[in-house]
Amino acid sequence: MNQNQDKNKDKNAPRPMMGGGMRGMNYTEKPQDFKGTMKKLGAYLKPFRIRILFAAIMAVTAALLSVLSPWLLGLITSEVARAFKLASETNTDIIFGLIRVFPNLNLSIGEIALFIAGTYFLSFVFNYFQAFLLIGMTQNLTYSMRRELSSKLNRLPLKFFDTQSFGDILGRVTNDVETINMTLTQSVSEIFRSITLIIGIFVMMFILSPILTGIVFITTTLALMIAGKFVKLSQGYFRSQAKSFGELNGHIEETYSGHTVVKIFNHQKQSEEAFEKINGDLFKSAVKSQFISGIMFPVQFFIGNIAYIAIAVVGAFLVLTTNPLIAIQVGIIQTFIQYTRQINQPVQQIGSIANVLQSTAAASERIFNLLNEPEESVEREDLVELKKIKGHVVFKNVYFGYADDVDVIKNFSAEIKPGQKVAIVGPTGAGKTTIVNLLMRFYEIKSGSIEIDGVDIRNMSRASVRSLFGMVLQDTWLFEGSVYENITYGSQDKTKEDVENAARLSQTHHFIESLSAGYDFQLLENGSNISQGQRQLLTISRAMLADRPMLILDEATSSVDTRTEVLIQHAMEALMENRTSFVIAHRLSTIKDADVIFVMNDGNILEQGNHEELLKRDGFYAKLYYSQFDTN
């Protein structure tokens, strides 16, 4: 039931944002409150703090183990160089000695090689388990977050969905949650790992050679500054690319979902021109953004090569110098080259993580804003539940407005007796559908009261009120599944015989039997593989099967042919017998047999009576009625 679309017939009702799907969504925007949002996200992570702590320890340990390997390889290289030099000077065989690794710990080359292999293996083990912990944590977190969002959406009032794009809501539940998932899975460990690597590598380098450390520090800082410039320069183009991509998706969605209308009005050329413009903008921004971000890595690679050359040249001088304060062994040159290559990755990671955190904060902010939306008021415990429904409905001095300062329904009063068939007519925006929304408690009235069998509906639960009504809207809603499942939606306790009887009453059984699989025929999304009229018939069958004490019919036969409409009218007569029924109609010829007709305009009843009485008065209703047959 898509009451949201139905309600939009009233001119004063808020309109949903246009552009379904992901159109208009910009995930490159910055959050309005970065610190506050990250604190809220931290509160979600609090139950997992032990896992995060262990994952951080493992990431740090793995990073420190990877720092040891270049140093140990450098020791091996120095020992190989020493042994070859000694053998050439003494003209003897090459003999490798023990290498002093730590005080009171001397190891052979083979033992150091095994130690290095052990550090690589342990680093792999720690990385594996920290990833295992983080993946488990993030999946639990996102599972809980999606469940909370789903529960929240079910508690939100209808007016929220009237003012939000469905694509935007969908993006919050899917894309935004997935953004948080990816960030926590990948970036959290990278933050600990990158910071540990940078600190650990610079500490080791400074211990080995302050002079070479200065070279690496200068080149690394230069690479980081250039990367920052490139990121800042490309960010604007990435925003333009995201915007153009969203416009392109929206254009394609609108054009191809309405391709019949495009062809009928010969709008193909204009549609192609619009596509070419958007596609051209996307091409320009994509080329610029990709070129700028792509050239960043060759520049950093160039700076890295300069660092290697500087380390080799200066390192050679330090190896040959006789000054004991700055002299180094030849293996340290290899160690520094490996450290330089090793440090580039965490430097780049920190730069990218900063942008990722901005996107994560923006996604989190959108999710928290949704979770903070005001919900339907909490229902009291002393609520009344009607047992035997007569269907006596009374509106007393009802006032209501979608906005606080504008009333759509103004001092509306009416009495509908049990079993009466009430037709509500009037021009667009008169408040017809709004009355139904208030009756179903989709919205709460400002003042006055609505009573069913003498009980104010505010003293009943919303679920209890809505369970009293069967409803058929002009806008059909079917889900992907079998015909049988769609008819039994909300009435799963009914038997197959009940379903077939309801289908026969609504003149639906014949066309269902003509389908390839009958009641097991699989409908596509929104029943797109059957006609609009057939979709309407299925929704009528659904209402008949529900067999509620009261009925609401909003242009229920608007999408069927004249012959089927006549058949359905007879079925409706049987269905509405001894039931209070509300019929919203634009074609006044369909409500001639109503017990009472409410003629509405500007939020109130101008006239009421049956068809013949209202025509005799020659008032507003008579003008509406005869205008439908005016051929001038």
Question: Which of 310-314, 396-400, 555-559 shows the lowest per-residue confidence on average (mean pLDDT)?
Answer: 555-559
Question: How many other CB atoms are there within 10 angstroms of residue 451's CB atom?
Answer: 16
Q: What is the mean pLDDT of residues 272-276?
A: 89
Higher pLDDT, 69 or 301: 69
Of the given ranges (4-13, 369-378, 446-455), which has the lowest mean pLDDT?
A: 4-13
With a cut of 60, say whether residue 110 has pLDDT above it: yes
Residue 14 is given by DSSP the state P
Q: Name the more confident of 476 and 156.
A: 156
**Which pLDDT belongs to residue 18?**
31
Q: If you average pLDDT over every residue of the chain, what do you get?
A: 82
- Between 350 and 445, the higher pLDDT residue: 445
One-character DSSP codes across 517-581: TGGGPEE-GGGTTS-HHHHHHHHHHHHHHH--SEEEEESTTTTS-HHHHHHHHHHHHHHHTTSEE
**Residue corresponding to tokens 């015909």:** 483
The 3-class SS string of 385-445 reads CCCCCCCCEEEEEEEECCECCECCEEEEEEEECCCCEEEEECCCCCCHHHHHHHHCCCCCC
Q: Can you tell me the mean pLDDT for 458-480? A: 86
Does this model's pTM top 0.75? My answer is: no
Q: How many CB atoms lie within 10 A of CB 417?
A: 14
Using the predicted structure, report yes or no on whether residue 631 has a pLDDT greater than 70: no
* pLDDT over threshold 70, residue 361: yes
Average pLDDT of 559-570? 67
Does this chain's domain 32-208+349-376 share its CATH topology with 469-547?
no
Q: Which range (271-275, 420-424, 562-566, 611-615) has the least confidence?
A: 562-566
For 79-83, 243-247, 381-385, 539-543, which range has the lowest pLDDT when averaged over its residues? 243-247
Topology of domain 469-547 in CATH is Rossmann fold (3.40.50)
* Percentage, residues of the chain above pLDDT 90: 13
Task: Kindly state the average pLDDT of the residues 165-187.
Answer: 81
Question: Band of the pLDDT at 17, cuts 50, 70, 90?
Answer: very low
Please give, one letter per residue, the 3-state secondary structure of 489-514: CCCCCCCHHHHHHHHHHCCCHHHHHC
| Residue 368 confidence (pLDDT) above 70 | yes
User: Can you give the pLDDT at residue 471?
Assistant: 83
Candidate from 10-19, 481-490, 498-507 with smallest mean pLDDT: 10-19
What tokens were used for 122?
Answer: 């342990």
Mean per-residue pLDDT for 29-38?
Answer: 72
pLDDT, residue 557, reads 64
**CB neighbours (10 Å) of residue 255?**
17
Region 101-109: mean pLDDT is: 81
On the question of pLDDT at 23 being above 80, the answer is no
Collapsed DSSP state (helix, strand, coil) of residue 454:
coil
Q: Which two tokens stand for residue 8?
A: 């939009």
- Convert 463-476 to b/e letters by CB count within 10 Å (16 or more is b): ebbbbbbbbbbbbb
Q: What's the pLDDT score for residue 114?
A: 92
CA angle 502/504/507 to nearest 5° reads: 110
The two three-digit tokens of residue 179, written as one number: 């953004």
Residue-level pLDDT at 270: 87
Task: Return the CATH architecture of domain 32-208+349-376.
Answer: Up-down Bundle (1.20)
Determine how many CB atoms are found less than 10 A away from the CB of residue 282: 19
Residue with the larger pLDDT of the pair 477 and 396: 396
Confidence of residue 589 (pLDDT cuts 50, 70, 90): low
Query: Inter-axis angle of helices 532-546 and 562-576, to 10 degrees?
Result: 10
pLDDT range class, residue 524, cuts 50, 70, 90: confident
pLDDT at 488: 92
pLDDT-derived band at 211, boundaries 50, 70, 90: very high
What residues does each domain of the chain span? 32-208+349-376, 210-327, 469-547
The more confidently predicted of residues 545 and 381 is: 545
pLDDT of residue 568: 66
Of residues 437 and 576, more confidently modeled: 437
| More confident: 587 or 406 | 406
Q: What is the reported pLDDT for 26?
A: 41
Q: Which CATH superfamily is domain 210-327 in?
A: ABC transporter type 1, transmembrane domain (1.20.1560.10)
pLDDT of res. 30: 60
Indicate the DSSP class of residue 589. Answer: G
Residue 23 CB-density burial (10 A; 0-12 exposed, 13-18 middle, 19+ buried)? buried
> What is the DSSP-derived secondary structure letter of residue 22?
T
Taking 70 as the threshold, does the pLDDT of residue 265 lie above it?
Answer: yes
Q: How would DSSP label each residue in 311-366?
A: HHHHHHHHHH---TTT---HHHHHHHHHHHHHHHHHHHHHHHHHHHHHHHHHHHHH
Read off the pLDDT of each residue in 276-286 and give the average, rounded to a whole number: 88
Type of residue numbered 71: W
Q: What is the pLDDT of residue 258?
A: 77
pLDDT above 80 for 365: yes
What is the percent of the chain with per-residue pLDDT over 70, rounded to a whole number? Answer: 89
Name 581's Cβ contacts closer than 8 Å, sequence gap at least 6. 420, 421, 422, 550, 551, 552, 553
Please give the Cα distance from 185 to 191 (Å, whole number): 11
pLDDT of residue 144 exceeding 80, the answer is yes
**Average of per-residue pLDDT across 612-623:** 88
Q: The tokens of 349 are what?
A: 């990671």
Give residue-wise pLDDT tens across range 219-253. Answer: 888 887 887 777 777 777 777 776 777 678 778 87
Name beta bridge partners: 597.
423, 609
Determine the pLDDT at residue 483. 92
Predicted confidence at residue 571, as pLDDT, reads 66
**Better-predicted residue by pLDDT, 256 or 317:** 317
